[in-house]
């Protein structure tokens, strides 16, 4: 029982089940979203996008559109060129890349490379008028052959997207030691190999993208309201790459955001277009994505094919791992595309003691929407590969898959442990995770449940897999600032778009400064209020934000201690601080933190050399990633007559280090599990193979998981403190998604194994499962 209305620091401190303070406004309809924001005088922009996957643009005629009712202004690539507008550079340029030539332009001039490539921006008084006018824009195309699958794109004679990349290979990444690996394979008793496909998925957050741009003639500053995971990153891209102006000229406001999942981590063409159009027409310009535009133009995730090979000794110990991946880049090198590729090979050893590896992947241009981070970004691909491969090895060696895994786990005594891909793991108790998961799953009685299913003509399968992710990137700055009434405000460089940062950070500050949880204020997502910020992705915020905040709190206490000494007329050394109170050691003389804060803001009584106000900024930078890890046990029941897969149970036992708030952590894991189940069982972005037309252009064709598709998740945590940050946190946001696809598919294959099925591709839709069963029956 947790009553919210009884203020007590212990109840709201770190580790407590504090309910999200954000939910009050979210569930009562008081959230503040870009689409709901109205700026007086605003007009509406609509994007005209390419209808071809690959084509030369012969002619663009905007004359009829210009004359349409209500049209305010129209932007073409020629206008942008005249204004000297630059392209949308990726956050990190991949190594050896051909440079800016393959970067996404704000509007395309000569050659479109995917269905959805932006061509013309039409602004009118109303959305309807803009839509009508957009329909009058005439684009003449000369169609070119398109290629949408990574393997097709590398075939002899495949259409080439970029002249500077004549083989469609954008870049290549590698880790490990090929020669040592070859030697290990030569002395192996068993060699197994498996090809897996990671289906292309779309993030589909509850809130589609939205942007309002306003260029203010009075001070020549640009204000952009956009629903971004990283407003400061959007500012940097727009200022430095697109506009070529100082970042000080831009204010980015990202208010409440309904989900990002990696897809909203960067500036998109529309963010630039609303500002460019506003500069032209002198009015605020709003753009709102439809669901179909989102499926077409949002960055996508996964879309990878990988062949993995394991060398094992007679006892099933892995001697070496080899992997060769092809990962779609899409039409442009955009956003954080480097992340999924890098993680998809670097995380491959996961929780296993694999001393020798040779892992590589290549980024491949395809006539599809650009690829970027999607919840997990490469870690799900890596975990899917290694877990499927281990299961495959167990089947070939006729070993219990759990025993095979146990034999290869990194043991707690091995830490600190350096992987063959040069990650340094600080801590972990992997076998404990498995034991606990099996216990919750009632694993030992699986046989009874399988027999009961069989009695009803159904198949049942179970599986246990591990998951591990590398979390955290870049440094962070967090500020704590007191106002004259003694109230503290947290100014966050991270960005919460559903995670519950406000709650977590307030728990921390209320504990460290001993001030009431309810009185703390929280500010994020406004670059004019928050000086520096790195946004939220890669499960970084609790670790980076929390540890930065801790240092800010420590500085606050030291500054306030000096003031308290002045006020109590003793030496600083005589002041001790505990639970929000400064006390003269060994006496009853004391003063509270808010009182000291108020005194620091006093307009008269301060000593002349005292800094007015009480504020501090703390910073934390990742020297090494943190490594959240877990074990997931899945049990499915399959109806062979229909191919329907029912997820009977999914247990996730996770080590995310110390827990800031078990409720938030559980919510994060739940969401991640749901997204992984979505990918495993139903979600898939489908392009027509020859034309590159998008087949899954609406939710009629793109299946999202619904509550009824999901089991009642069982989650538990084993808190093994992280040793590379003071708070012992590992991060939590992506772990569920990393583990659930291999958990689902290995459990499904366990169910289908009696029929002779050894492989199935994601998404394992009822149609695909049914077909697979039919095929096995025919050939078996």
Cβ-count burial of 778 within 10 angstroms (0-12 exposed, 13-18 middle, 19+ buried)?
Answer: exposed
Close Cβ partners of 67 (under 8 Å, ≥ 6 residues apart): none
| Nearest to 464, CA basis, from 328, 633, 712 | 633
For the bound state, the minimum distance from the C-beta of residue 259 to ligand SMO, rounded and expressed in Å, comes to: 12
**From residue 439 to residue 468, what is the string marking binding to ligand SMO with x (rule CB under 6 A)?**
------------------------------
| Nearest to 53, CA basis, from 159, 156, 135 | 159
| Nearest to 302, CA basis, from 611, 693, 766, 737 | 737
For the bound state, the minimum distance from the C-beta of residue 657 to ligand SMO, rounded and expressed in Å, comes to: 17
Residue 683 and residue 699 in contact, taking contact as beta carbons nearer than 8 Å: no
Which of residues 339 and 694 has its CB atom nearest to ligand SMO in the complex?
339
For the bound state, the minimum distance from the C-beta of residue 262 to ligand SMO, rounded and expressed in Å, comes to: 3
Measured CA to CA, the distance from residue 387 to residue 405 in angstroms comes to 9
For the bound state, the minimum distance from the C-beta of residue 236 to ligand SMO, rounded and expressed in Å, comes to: 17
For the bound state, the minimum distance from the C-beta of residue 225 to ligand SMO, rounded and expressed in Å, comes to: 22
**From residue 222 to residue 261, what is the string marking binding to ligand SMO with x (rule CB under 6 A)?**
----------------------------------------
For the bound state, the minimum distance from the C-beta of residue 336 to ligand SMO, rounded and expressed in Å, comes to: 7
- Axis-axis angle for helices 541-568, 501-513 (nearest 10): 30
Measured CA to CA, the distance from residue 359 to residue 279 in angstroms comes to 48
3-state secondary structure of 727: coil
3-state secondary structure of 337: coil
Of 356-375, binders to ligand SMO (CB under 6 A) are 373-375
Q: DSSP string of 443-455?
A: GGGHHHHHHHHHH
Measured CA to CA, the distance from residue 654 to residue 632 in angstroms comes to 8
**From residue 524 to residue 563, what is the string marking binding to ligand SMO with x (rule CB under 6 A)?**
-------------xx-------------------------
Measured CA to CA, the distance from residue 411 to residue 416 in angstroms comes to 10
Which of residues 374 and 620 has its CB atom nearest to ligand SMO in the complex?
374
Q: Which residues face 603 on adjacent strands?
A: none
Which of residues 374 and 430 has its CB atom nearest to ligand SMO in the complex?
374
Measured CA to CA, the distance from residue 401 to residue 395 in angstroms comes to 7
Which of residues 305 and 373 has its CB atom nearest to ligand SMO in the complex?
373
Query: Which one of 376, 514, 628, 741 is in contact with ligand SMO (CB under 6 A)?
Result: 376
Chain centroid to CA 542 = 14
DSSP symbol at 247: G
Chain centroid to CA 215 = 31
Q: Which residues face 591 on adjacent strands?
A: 582
Cβ-count burial of 372 within 10 angstroms (0-12 exposed, 13-18 middle, 19+ buried)?
Answer: buried
For the bound state, the minimum distance from the C-beta of residue 695 to ligand SMO, rounded and expressed in Å, comes to: 25
Of 317-346, binders to ligand SMO (CB under 6 A) are 339
Place of tokens 């709102």: 288
For the bound state, the minimum distance from the C-beta of residue 375 to ligand SMO, rounded and expressed in Å, comes to: 5
For the bound state, the minimum distance from the C-beta of residue 469 to ligand SMO, rounded and expressed in Å, comes to: 8
3-state secondary structure of 118: strand
Does 734 bind ligand SMO (CB under 6 A)? Our answer is: yes
Measured CA to CA, the distance from residue 429 to residue 720 in angstroms comes to 7
**From residue 255 to residue 274, what is the string marking binding to ligand SMO with x (rule CB under 6 A)?**
-------x------------
Which of residues 373 and 567 has its CB atom nearest to ligand SMO in the complex?
373
Cβ-count burial of 437 within 10 angstroms (0-12 exposed, 13-18 middle, 19+ buried)?
Answer: buried
For the bound state, the minimum distance from the C-beta of residue 378 to ligand SMO, rounded and expressed in Å, comes to: 7
Q: Could you give the C-alpha distances from 388 to 399, 469, 761, in angstroms and in order?
A: 14, 17, 11
Measured CA to CA, the distance from residue 393 to residue 65 in angstroms comes to 62
For the bound state, the minimum distance from the C-beta of residue 765 to ligand SMO, rounded and expressed in Å, comes to: 24
End-to-end CA distance of the chain: 56
Which of residues 323 and 377 has its CB atom nearest to ligand SMO in the complex?
377
Which of residues 481 and 495 has its CB atom nearest to ligand SMO in the complex?
495
Which of residues 232 and 436 has its CB atom nearest to ligand SMO in the complex?
232
Of 14-53, binders to ligand SMO (CB under 6 A) are none
For the bound state, the minimum distance from the C-beta of residue 682 to ligand SMO, rounded and expressed in Å, comes to: 20
Query: Which one of 119, 158, 273, 377 is in contact with ligand SMO (CB under 6 A)?
Result: 377
Pairing, β 55-61 against β 138-143: antiparallel
Which of residues 376 and 545 has its CB atom nearest to ligand SMO in the complex?
376
Does 634 bind ligand SMO (CB under 6 A)? Our answer is: no
For the bound state, the minimum distance from the C-beta of residue 263 to ligand SMO, rounded and expressed in Å, comes to: 8
Going 624 to 735 to 672 to 114, the CA torsion angle's sign is: positive
Which of residues 373 and 575 has its CB atom nearest to ligand SMO in the complex?
373
Q: DSSP string of 126-165?
A: SHHHHHHHHHT-EEEEEE-----SHHHHTSTTPPPS-TT-
Which of residues 401 and 736 has its CB atom nearest to ligand SMO in the complex?
736
Alpha-carbon Rg for the chain, nearest whole angstrom, is: 28
3-state secondary structure of 545: helix
For the bound state, the minimum distance from the C-beta of residue 203 to ligand SMO, rounded and expressed in Å, comes to: 9
Measured CA to CA, the distance from residue 294 to residue 112 in angstroms comes to 18
For the bound state, the minimum distance from the C-beta of residue 379 to ligand SMO, rounded and expressed in Å, comes to: 7
For the bound state, the minimum distance from the C-beta of residue 333 to ligand SMO, rounded and expressed in Å, comes to: 17
Judged by CB under 6 A, the number of residues near ligand SMO is 10
Which of residues 13 and 94 has its CB atom nearest to ligand SMO in the complex?
94
Close Cβ partners of 339 (under 8 Å, ≥ 6 residues apart): 372, 373, 377, 378, 538
Q: Could you give the C-alpha distances from 161 to 97, 147, 455, 691, in angstroms and in order?
A: 15, 9, 55, 14
Which of residues 144 and 236 has its CB atom nearest to ligand SMO in the complex?
236
Which of residues 106 and 738 has its CB atom nearest to ligand SMO in the complex?
738
For the bound state, the minimum distance from the C-beta of residue 90 to ligand SMO, rounded and expressed in Å, comes to: 14
Measured CA to CA, the distance from residue 209 to residue 403 in angstroms comes to 46
For the bound state, the minimum distance from the C-beta of residue 729 to ligand SMO, rounded and expressed in Å, comes to: 16
3-state secondary structure of 593: helix
Which of residues 381 and 655 has its CB atom nearest to ligand SMO in the complex?
381
For residue 682, say if its preceding peptide bond is cis, omega within 30 degrees of 0. no
Which of residues 141 and 374 has its CB atom nearest to ligand SMO in the complex?
374
Does 741 bind ligand SMO (CB under 6 A)? Our answer is: no
Which of residues 340 and 461 has its CB atom nearest to ligand SMO in the complex?
340
Which of residues 44 and 337 has its CB atom nearest to ligand SMO in the complex?
337
The residue ranges that bind ligand SMO (CB under 6 A) are 262, 339, 373-377, 537-538, 734
């Amino acid at each position: 029982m947790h009553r919210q209305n009884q203020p007590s620091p212990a109840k709201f401190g770190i580790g407590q089940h504090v309910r999200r303070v954000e939910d009050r406004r979210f569930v009562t309809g008081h959230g503040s979203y870009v689409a709901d924001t109205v700026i007086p005088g605003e007009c509406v922009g609509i994007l005209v996008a390419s209808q071809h996957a690959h084509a030369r643009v012969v002619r663009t005629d905007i004359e009829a559109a210009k004359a349409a009712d209500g049209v305010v202004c129209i932007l073409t690539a020629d206008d942008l060129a005249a204004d000297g507008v630059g392209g949308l550079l990726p956050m990190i340029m991949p190594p050896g890349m051909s440079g800016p030539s393959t970067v996404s332009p704000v509007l395309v001039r000569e050659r479109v490379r995917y269905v959805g490539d932006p061509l013309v921006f039409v602004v009118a008084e109303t959305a309807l008028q803009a839509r009508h006018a957009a329909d009058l824009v005439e684009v003449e195309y000369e169609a070119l052959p398109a290629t949408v699958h990574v393997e097709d794109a590398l075939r002899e004679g495949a259409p080439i997207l970029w002249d500077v990349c004549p083989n469609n290979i954008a870049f290549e990444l590698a880790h490990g030691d090929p020669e040592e690996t070859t030697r290990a394979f030569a002395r192996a008793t068993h060699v197994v190999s498996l090809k897996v496909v990671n289906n292309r998925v779309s993030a589909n957050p509850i809130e589609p993208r939205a942007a309002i741009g306003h260029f203010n003639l009075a001070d020549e500053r640009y204000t952009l309201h956009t629903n971004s995971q990283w407003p400061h990153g959007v500012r940097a891209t727009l200022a430095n790459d697109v506009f070529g102006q100082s970042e000080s000229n831009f204010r980015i406001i990202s208010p409440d955001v309904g989900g990002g999942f990696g897809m909203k981590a960067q500036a998109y063409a529309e963010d630039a277009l609303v500002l460019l159009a506003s500069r032209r027409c002198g009015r605020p310009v709003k753009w709102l994505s439809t669901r179909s535009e989102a499926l077409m133009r949002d960055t996508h995730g996964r879309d990878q094919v990988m062949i993995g090979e394991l060398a094992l000794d007679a006892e099933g110990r892995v001697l070496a791992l080899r992997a060769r991946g092809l990962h779609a880049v899409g039409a442009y090198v955009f956003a954080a595309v480097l992340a999924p590729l890098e993680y998809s090979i670097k995380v491959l050893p996961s929780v296993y003691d694999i001393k020798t590896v040779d892992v590589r992947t290549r980024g491949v241009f395809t006539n599809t929407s650009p690829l970027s981070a999607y919840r997990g970004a490469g870690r799900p691909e890596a975990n899917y590969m290694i877990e499927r491969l281990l299961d495959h090895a167990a089947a070939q060696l006729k070993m219990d898959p759990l025993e095979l895994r146990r034999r290869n786990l990194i043991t707690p005594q091995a830490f600190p442990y350096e992987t063959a891909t040069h990650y340094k793991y600080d801590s972990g108790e992997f076998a404990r995770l498995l034991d606990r998961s099996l216990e919750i799953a009632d694993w030992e009685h699986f046989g009874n449940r399988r027999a009961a299913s069989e009695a009803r003509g159904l198949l049942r399968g179970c599986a246990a897999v591990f998951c591990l992710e590398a979390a955290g990137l870049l440094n962070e700055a967090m500020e704590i600032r007191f106002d004259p009434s003694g109230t503290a405000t947290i100014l966050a460089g991270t960005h919460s778009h559903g995670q519950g940062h406000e709650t977590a950070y307030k728990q921390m500050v209320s504990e460290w400064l001993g001030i009431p949880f309810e009185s703390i204020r929280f500010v994020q997502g406004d670059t004019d209020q928050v000086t520096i910020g790195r946004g939220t992705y890669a499960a970084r915020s609790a670790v980076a934000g929390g540890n930065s905040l801790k240092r800010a709190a420590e500085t606050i206490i030291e500054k306030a201690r000096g003031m308290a000494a002045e006020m109590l007329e003793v030496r600083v050394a005589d002041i001790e601080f505990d639970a929000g109170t400064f006390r003269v050691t060994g006496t009853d003389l004391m003063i509270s933190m808010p009182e000291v804060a108020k005194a620091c803001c006093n307009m008269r009584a301060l000593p002349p050399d005292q800094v007015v106000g009480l504020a501090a900024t703390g910073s934390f930078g990742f020297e090494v990633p943190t490594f959240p890890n877990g074990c997931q046990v899945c049990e499915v029941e399959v109806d062979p007559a229909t191919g329907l897969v029912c997820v009977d149970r999914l247990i996730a036992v996770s080590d995310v280090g110390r827990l800031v708030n078990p409720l938030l952590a559980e919510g994060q894991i739940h969401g991640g599990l749901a997204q992984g189940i979505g990918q495993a069982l139903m979600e898939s972005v489908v392009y027509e193979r020859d034309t590159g037309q998008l087949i899954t252009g609406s939710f009629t064709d793109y299946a999202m998981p619904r509550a009824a598709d999901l089991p009642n998740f069982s989650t538990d945590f084993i808190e093994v403190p992280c040793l590379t940050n003071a708070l012992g946190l590992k991060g939590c946001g992506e772990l569920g998604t990393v583990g659930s696809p291999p958990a689902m598919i290995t459990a499904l294959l366990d169910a289908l194994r009696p029929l002779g099925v050894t492989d199935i591709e994601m998404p394992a839709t009822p149609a695909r499962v049914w077909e697979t069963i039919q095929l096995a029956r025919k050939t078996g």
